[in-house]
Amino acid sequence: MKPKKLFSYLFYVLLFLAFSCQKNDTTQIQNLNGGEVEVIGHQGSGLGTAHNALPPNSLASIQRAINGLNADGVEVDVEMSVDGELFLYHDKMLESLTDCEGCITGMLAEDLERCKYDVGISNTLGQAHYLVKLEDLLTLYQGTSYLFYLDIRFRNRCDESLDPDLDSLAQAIHELVTRLDMGFQIRAISLSVSLLQKLQVLGSIPELYLDSSYPEWVIEEAAKANFQGISISNDLISAAQVEKAHQLGLKVSLFDVKIRSNVISAISKHPDMLNTDNIELCQQVL
Amino acid sequence: MFFCRAWKVGNGGCLGVLFFCLNFLVLTPSFAQNMGTDSLPLLEWKLGSHVQFSHAGIGMGVGASVDFRHFRFYTGGRINFAKKYTPTKGPIGIEFSAAYFPILSENRVQSFAVATYQVDFSKSYCRTAACVRKMNTIHAYTIGYGMEIELGKGISINNSIQVGQYTERFYNGILQERYSTSGFNALVKLGVMVPVRR
């Protein structure tokens, strides 16, 4: 094959790849948000990948999502320290992601504030990322319109056989949100019906989302408890079930939305928000 | 993986550093035989295409290069596929690289050191039309080693593994401010070069 011919073939392959993608038709989305799908960054700007190496739930990751990518908001994981301070962290034990040992529910706030994400040179070229207090995060975004979905982790991670203190957890969240007067920006997600009911009684958070892997169950329970929505993996719910949730007045938040096929599949179900690891992709498709 | 943990190098960076070291060890012996530069044409123009993986995503590029003695200078356009969806909104970008072939070997296999600068552009996102929209950019600066294999008729394939830094500069039309973040970047590239005239 002549060199010029080979190069021509390569050029046409490139053109084909560049223009073969079709934009998803999002003009007909029917949801409870008036046709708008909120793009919410999962744990900030998504789980760590080669494209986004910032630690999940770190301030840098959240700022990248909001200040940088202009996401509609972020979903963050919230746990309570032994002395009642709320911190952002996902994993069961601190040693999996930080230089501390133990668990959030077994440590004092002043010790947790010194915990540094153990990320190495590959992520941040020497910048340190510390555990973030929920109060510090919310204070930073007071007066803006960005949304914060608090995925409330309620179990005692040091000893899961102990009953979680749901009253204290709900009270701590309520007091913080009330003190900062940020209720309109806050949404709560939890696996626990009891915890959401306690927040419902306290009344400071306008939207409560029940999280589960069982779509039929979660739709029925959330509707029965008068919650405002459900949170579920995109892989586990069908378009018909999303429609059923909407008919019952429940908003639907879908997670596990990262690659192109997930995004297309999720949008085709007409959700109210995408809790995504790829904010840019979702924004482009929408 | 043990070394990666020991050095606290995570994600893509781990593989990048390991491949960089491996590439250095494998390619160094190919510096052995010097062909000299007297028989070479002064300038040789080539067209090239490559696929790559880096912080900016999986992408493809086409461009032109000129070989001058031990040096090769390349410039071209590029497009990313994995990170975003609609190429018309970006990211599209440009790239400049300079390669140095320390010893022009008589072998079909040659090795080179390379420095690359890439910048990708994409439209910043804004839900409302009233919002000011400026370009988001991702800058990547990398250096590394590569290997080129001559296939005949002047066609060659090459690969390079590079490490360096990326800087993302995003514009937020709501807050009307730029947000910037930097980090470690590993770039793996596989390409083909064909001569313009032979």
- Rounded to 10 deg, the angle between the A215-224 and A239-247 helix axes is 10
Helix (H) or strand (E) holding B18: helix B11-27
- Dist CA A58 CA A74 (whole Å): 11
Task: Kindly determine whether residue B86 and residue A285, on different chains, have CB atoms separated by under 8 Å.
Answer: yes
For strand A38-42 and strand A147-152, is the pairing parallel, antiparallel, or unpaired? unpaired
pLDDT for A20 beyond 80: no
Domain count, chain B: 1
The pLDDT-based confidence of A212 (bands split at 50, 70, 90) is very high
For the four alpha carbons of B197, A5, B154 and B148, in that order, the dihedral sign comes to positive
Residue A268 token pair: 């085709």
Q: Which residue of A has its CA nearest to B126?
A: A70
Q: Name which of B48, B43, B155, B37 is nearest B101 in CA terms.
A: B37
- The total number of structural domains in chain A stands at 1
Q: What is the mean pLDDT of residues A201-209?
A: 95
Q: DSSP letters along A203-264, please? A: ---SEEEEE-S-HHHHHHHHHHTT-SEEEEEGGG--HHHHHHHHHTT-EEEEEEE-SHHHHH
For chain A, the C-alpha Rg in angstroms (whole number) is: 21
Band of the pLDDT at A233, cuts 50, 70, 90?
A: very high
Tell whether B167 lies on the interface with A, counting CB pairs under 8 A: no
pLDDT of residue B131: 78
3-state secondary structure of A198: helix
Query: Residue B8: pLDDT band by 50, 70, 90 thresholds?
Result: very low
Q: How far is CA A199 from CA A168, A245, B95, in A?
A: 11, 21, 53
How far is B5 from A67, CA to CA, in rounded Å?
A: 32
Q: pLDDT by residue (tens digit) across A100-120?
A: 999 999 899 999 999 998 876
Domain carrying residue B176: 2-31+40-195
**A93-127: b (≥16 Cβ within 10 Å) or e:** bbeebbebebbbbebebebbeebebbbbebbbeee
Most confident of the ranges A267-281, B9-23, B117-131: A267-281
The token pair at A245 is 């949730």
**B interface test, pick of A9, A122, A265 with most B CB neighbours within 10 Å:** A122
Q: How far is CA A230 from the centre of its chain?
A: 13
A residues 26..45 contacting B (CB < 8 A): 36
Q: Among residues of chain A, what percentage have pLDDT more than 90?
A: 66
Whether pLDDT at A12 is above 80:
no
- State yes or no: pLDDT of B36 exceeds 60: no
Token pair 């301070």: residue: A85
A18 in a domain, yes or no? no
Nearest CA in chain A to B156: A3
CATH number for B92: 2.40.160.20
For residue A44, the domain's CATH number is 3.20.20.190
Q: Which residue has the higher pLDDT, B27 or A79?
A: A79
The answer, yes or no, to whether residue B54 has pLDDT greater than 70, is yes
Instruction: For residue A284, give the nearest of B81, B84, B172 by CB distance.
Output: B84
Residue B181 confidence (pLDDT) above 70: yes
Q: What is the mean pLDDT of residues A70-99?
A: 93
Residue A7 lies in a domain: no
> What pLDDT is attached to residue B1?
42
A262 pLDDT higher than 90: no
DSSP state of B138: E
Domain contains A259: yes
Does A2 map to a domain? no
> Of residues B21 and A40, which shows the higher confidence score?
A40
Owning domain of residue A90:
30-285
Q: Check residue B35 and give its pLDDT.
A: 52
- If one compares A260 and A133, the residue with the highest pLDDT of the two is A133
Residue B2: phi and psi, rounded to 5, are: -60, -45
pLDDT of A52 above 50:
yes
Percent of the residues in chain A that have a pLDDT greater than 70, as a whole number: 87
Whether A52 and A45 have beta carbons less than 8 Å apart is answered as yes
Range of weakest confidence among A165-169, A180-184, B28-32, B137-141? B28-32
Q: Is A139 on the interface with B (CB under 8 A)?
A: no
Position A1 in a domain: no
Mode of pairing for the β-strands spanning A73-80 and B135-152? unpaired
Q: Does residue A21 lie within any of the structural domains?
A: no
Rounded Cα gap, residues A231 and A208, in angstroms: 10
Query: How high is the pLDDT of residue B170?
Result: 92
Classify residue A212: in a domain, yes or no: yes
In chain B, which among 127-156 make CB contacts under 8 A with chain A? 127, 153-155
- How far is A190 from A213, CA to CA, in rounded Å? 12
| pLDDT above 80 for B129 | no
Q: What pLDDT was estimated at residue B126? A: 82
Which residue did the predictor score with more confidence, A21 or A82?
A82
Residue A64 belongs to a domain? yes
pLDDT at A125 > cutoff 80: no
Per-residue pLDDT, A196: 96
Residue B50 scores a pLDDT above 60? yes
Contact B125 A280 (CB under 8 A): yes
